[in-house]
């Protein structure tokens, strides 16, 4: 194409874009101003309609969510009757011990407990505002409905349960994916799958550990230094007995019980024999019925062939079928009280950070049991092993709703009141709960699965680093330990508290509260709600408002930083109460 062709193409293109003259005139005609105004008005109307539709959509979505989260359980007479029975047996035990219960805790305190136990963090300021719009007598159940819809609940409780099922170590990488198991558990909890079905899936799992995540319950026990490689029957028996039956059978793995002669070495290995068929194949974990289980018992010179046998309630064991399937059905049989007892005790421990029967995984088969224990177990079985209902029941009881402190300074709460659940037991927060609370406190909005990816990634790495430095308590979920000096120093001088309280208008609530709060009193109250999930006393309000008085700019941000740092380092912040 020559230069003339280029010019011709360019001229044609220009002509195509030039408005054509009207009436044969060579001059172009611009649209009148009234036409431009009409177009603008039309676009404005369209924009308003779209905005209205979006607003209505958001309103309907919020209304539907509120309706979905509305506590229907309050209208269930059977639910109310069970709660009343539990309250009654506890009240009778307090009367026998000549104890008076502590007064009822504030609603915000109860929601803080539930948030810490079920999500590992505090309620956000945004959530507190929503909560306070609910009728007081429905607030706790509304809050639970809100949490059950939130992925923080399923993810956090899944991690807590995984520590019981498979421990905290990464295990044999080639055939074990812990994060896949935790994700799978989280999905089951989010769907509120009946707990007996979930447990059967773990015990009788088959397939590849990547495509069938529940199989990791079995493959975590494989010793890669052992040739040939098989799942470890003894580790699996120990996990099943402690996690799902609340019985420490692994204590008699090497010898009989010399203390009360209840359990024999044979009891443990007969349970382990149910896992003997589990084999690693090209298609993952499958059952090989040809495998045999042999053990050299204490005091014997030769190994003996061990036949599978359950340690108690043998009549509940199905007569036929694959061994692991039979065991799974026996463990979760509605008449096997040990399964219901173990679950009730562990869920209670998640909410109180202290189990009803201690230790959490050593529950006597014949009792005696604490007040309310059997009532909760009965309801759990009757309602199809519904974990969410069990949580709702416990949260509705007077035991959960009493305060941890007396309102009368001359009559402080006694250790006996805590021991008998007449006052809420005060316990130290777990490291991930401390980290989660610091991070959430620094935001006025909820940090959850819907938050911006930057906030979620930041939360993950900051929590991991803090837990690493603070000290993870590992599998021993409810072993109460006193705080250490390094832990306190980490809160006082650590990077997490420093970064989450310093001047930062984008990421830190302390700065934003100082900038946006209409008054000093409002700034102090908002800071307390964000960090301690309560309003300040008048004395606290006056003291900190006086420090903020007259401050502006960087001086005000520094004062808010000091306020946040102080609240982070109170005993109240790092304890469940």
Give residue-wise pLDDT tens across range 525-544: 999 999 999 999 999 999 99
Q: Which two tokens stand for residue 33?
A: 């101003």
Mean pLDDT across the chain, nearest whole number? Answer: 85
Using pLDDT thresholds of 50, 70 and 90, give the confidence band for residue 210: very high
Count how many residues are written for the chain: 577
Q: Is the pLDDT of residue 489 over 90?
A: no
Q: b/e map of 418-450 (b: 16 or more CB within 10 Å)?
A: bebbbbbbbbbbbbbbbbbbbbbbbbbebbbee
| Contacts (Cβ under 8 Å, ≥6 apart) of 316 | 310, 330, 333, 335, 336
Q: Is the pLDDT of residue 559 over 70?
A: yes
Using pLDDT thresholds of 50, 70 and 90, give the confidence band for residue 520: very high
- Highest mean pLDDT pick, 369-383, 395-409, 484-498: 369-383
Q: What is the distance between the alpha carbons of residues 526 and 520, in angstroms, rounded to a whole number? A: 10
Closest CA to 509 of 435, 431, 438: 438
Q: Is the pLDDT of residue 65 over 60?
A: no
| Contacts (Cβ under 8 Å, ≥6 apart) of 347 | 387, 390, 391, 394
Rounded to an integer, the average pLDDT of 515-534 is 97
Q: Which two tokens stand for residue 135?
A: 């009728």
How many whole angstroms from its chain centre is CA 324? 30
Q: Which helix (H) or strand (E) holds 575?
A: strand 575-576
Q: What is the distance between the alpha carbons of residues 483 and 200, in angstroms, rounded to a whole number? A: 38
Kindly report which listed range (94-103, 257-266, 351-360, 438-447) carries the lowest average pLDDT score.
257-266
pLDDT of residue 275: 96
Using pLDDT thresholds of 50, 70 and 90, give the confidence band for residue 62: very low
pLDDT of residue 493: 67
Contact between 497 and 438 under an 8 Å Cβ cutoff? The reply is yes
Helix locations, 132-259, DSSP H: 139-149, 151-166, 178-190, 195-203, 216-219, 233-239
Using pLDDT thresholds of 50, 70 and 90, give the confidence band for residue 545: very high
pLDDT digits (tens, 9 = 90+) for 116-137: 999 999 999 999 999 999 999 9
pLDDT of residue 503: 86
pLDDT of residue 12: 39
Rounded to an integer, the average pLDDT of 147-166 is 96
**Per DSSP, which regions of 207-361 are E strands?**
278-281, 284-287, 294-295, 304-305
Q: What is the distance between the alpha carbons of residues 432 and 182, in angstroms, rounded to a whole number? A: 16
Using pLDDT thresholds of 50, 70 and 90, give the confidence band for residue 38: low
Q: Is the pLDDT of residue 393 over 60?
A: yes
Using pLDDT thresholds of 50, 70 and 90, give the confidence band for residue 74: low
Using pLDDT thresholds of 50, 70 and 90, give the confidence band for residue 359: very high
Q: Which two tokens stand for residue 549?
A: 């008085």
Contact between 151 and 120 under an 8 Å Cβ cutoff? The reply is no
Rounded to an integer, the average pLDDT of 271-280 is 95
Q: Is the pLDDT of residue 310 over 70?
A: yes
pLDDT digits (tens, 9 = 90+) for 234-244: 999 999 999 99
pLDDT of residue 224: 80
Q: Is the peptide bond preceding residue 359 cis, with omega within 30 degrees of 0?
A: yes
Contact between 64 and 361 under an 8 Å Cβ cutoff? The reply is no
Q: What is the distance between the alpha carbons of residues 212 and 207, in angstroms, rounded to a whole number? A: 6
Q: Is the pLDDT of residue 486 over 90?
A: no
DSSP 347-397: HHHHHHSS-SSSSTT---SS----TTHHHHHHHHHHTTS-HHHHHHHHHHS
Using pLDDT thresholds of 50, 70 and 90, give the confidence band for residue 452: low
- Highest mean pLDDT pick, 187-201, 407-421, 496-510: 187-201
Using pLDDT thresholds of 50, 70 and 90, give the confidence band for residue 228: confident
pLDDT of residue 156: 96
Using pLDDT thresholds of 50, 70 and 90, give the confidence band for residue 440: very high
Q: Which helix (H) or strand (E) holds 572?
A: none
First-residue to last-residue Cα distance in the chain: 85
Task: Identify the residue whose tokens are 């994060």.
Answer: 179
CA separation (Å) from 445 to 127, 440, 442, 455, 530? 8, 8, 9, 11, 10
Task: Identify the residue whose tokens are 């909410």.
Answer: 351
pLDDT of residue 352: 96
pLDDT of residue 263: 87
Q: What is the distance between the alpha carbons of residues 421 and 402, in angstroms, rounded to a whole number? A: 9
Domain residues of the chain, as ranges?
A: 151-331, 427-576
Q: Give φ, ψ of 279 to 5 degrees.
A: -140, 150
Closest CA to 392 of 402, 403, 380: 380
Rounded to an integer, the average pLDDT of 455-481 is 69
Rounded to an integer, the average pLDDT of 81-93 is 97
pLDDT of residue 251: 82
CA separation (Å) from 426 to 354, 373, 404, 531, 573? 9, 21, 7, 18, 12
Using pLDDT thresholds of 50, 70 and 90, give the confidence band for residue 41: low
pTM above 0.95, yes or no: no
Q: b/e map of 501-537 (b: 16 or more CB within 10 Å)?
A: bbebeeebbbbbbbeebeebeebbbbbbbbbbbbebe
Kindly report which listed range (150-164, 381-395, 408-422) carries the lowest average pLDDT score.
408-422
More confident of the two residues 260 and 106: 106
Give the Cβ contact number of residue 190 at 10 Å. 17
Quick one: DSSP state of residue 121?
S
Contact between 341 and 241 under an 8 Å Cβ cutoff? The reply is no
Q: Is the pLDDT of residue 406 over 60?
A: yes
Q: What is the distance between the alpha carbons of residues 360 and 347, in angstroms, rounded to a whole number? A: 10
**Per DSSP, which regions of 308-359 are E strands?**
none
| Burial of 23 from C-beta contacts in 10 A (0-12 / 13-18 / 19+) | exposed
pLDDT of residue 548: 96
Q: Is the peptide bond preceding residue 228 cis, with omega within 30 degrees of 0?
A: yes
pLDDT of residue 262: 80
Q: Give φ, ψ of 541 to 5 degrees.
A: -60, -45
pLDDT of residue 51: 42
Closest CA to 222 of 213, 210, 235: 235
Q: Is the pLDDT of residue 514 over 70?
A: yes
More confident of the two residues 298 and 6: 298
């Amino acid at each position: 194409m020559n230069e003339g062709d280029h010019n011709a193409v360019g001229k044609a293109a220009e002509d195509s874009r030039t408005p054509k003259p009207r009436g044969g005139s060579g001059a172009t005609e611009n649209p009148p101003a009234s036409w431009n105004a009409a177009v603008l008005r039309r676009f404005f109307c369209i924009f308003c309609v779209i905005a209205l539709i979006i607003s209505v959509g958001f309103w309907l979505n919020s209304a539907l969510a509120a309706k979905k989260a509305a506590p229907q359980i309050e209208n269930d007479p059977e639910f109310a009757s069970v709660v009343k029975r539990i309250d009654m047996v506890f009240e009778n035990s307090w009367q026998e011990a000549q104890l008076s219960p502590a007064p009822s805790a504030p609603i915000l305190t109860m929601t803080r407990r539930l948030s810490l136990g079920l999500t590992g963090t505090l309620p956000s300021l945004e959530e507190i505002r929503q909560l306070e719009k609910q009728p007081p007598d429905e607030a706790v159940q509304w809050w639970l409905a809100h949490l059950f819809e939130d992925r923080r609940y399923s993810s956090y409780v899944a991690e807590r349960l995984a520590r019981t099922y498979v421990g905290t170590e990464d295990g044999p990488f080639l055939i074990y994916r812990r994060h896949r198991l935790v994700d799978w558990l989280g999905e089951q909890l989010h769907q509120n799958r009946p707990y007996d079905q979930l447990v059967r899936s773990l015990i009788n799992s088959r397939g590849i550990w990547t495509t069938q995540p529940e199989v990791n319950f079995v493959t975590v026990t494989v010793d890669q230094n052992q040739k040939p490689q098989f799942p470890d029957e003894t580790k699996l028996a120990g996990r099943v007995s402690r996690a799902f039956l609340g019985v420490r059978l692994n204590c008699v793995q090497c010898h009989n019980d010399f203390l009360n002669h209840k359990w024999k070495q044979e009891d443990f290995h007969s349970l382990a024999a149910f896992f003997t068929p589990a084999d690693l194949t090209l298609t993952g974990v499958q059952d090989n019925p040809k495998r045999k289980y042999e053990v050299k018992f204490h005091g014997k010179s030769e190994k003996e062939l061990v036949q599978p046998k359950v340690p108690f309630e043998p009549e509940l064991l199905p007569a036929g079928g694959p061994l692991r399937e039979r065991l799974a059905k026996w463990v979760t049989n509605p008449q096997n009280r040990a399964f219901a007892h173990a679950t009730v005790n562990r869920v209670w421990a998640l909410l109180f950070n202290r189990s009803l029967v201690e230790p959490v995984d050593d529950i006597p088969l014949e009792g005696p049991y604490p007040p309310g224990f059997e009532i909760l177990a009965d309801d759990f079985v009757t309602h199809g092993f519904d974990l969410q209902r069990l949580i709702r029941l416990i949260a509705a009881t007077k035991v959960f709703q009493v305060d941890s402190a007396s309102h009368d300074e001359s009559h402080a709460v006694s250790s006996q009141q805590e021991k008998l659940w007449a006052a809420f037991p005060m316990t130290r927060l777990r490291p991930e709960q401390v980290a989660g609370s610091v991070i959430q406190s620094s935001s006025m909005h909820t940090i959850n699965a819907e938050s911006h990816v930057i906030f979620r990634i930041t939360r993950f790495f900051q929590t991991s680093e803090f837990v690493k430095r603070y000290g993870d308590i590992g599998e021993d979920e409810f072993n109460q330990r006193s705080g250490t000096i390094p832990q306190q120093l980490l809160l006082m001088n650590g990077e997490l508290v420093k970064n989450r309280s310093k001047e930062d208008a984008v990421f830190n609530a302390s700065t934003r509260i100082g900038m946006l709060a209409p008054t000093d009193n409002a700034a102090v109250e908002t800071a307390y709600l964000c960090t301690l999930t309560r309003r300040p006393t008048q004395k606290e309000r006056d003291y900190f408002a006086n420090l903020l008085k007259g401050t502006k700019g960087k001086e005000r941000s520094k004062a808010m930083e000091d306020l946040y740092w102080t609240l982070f380092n109170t005993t109240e912040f790092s304890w469940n109460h």
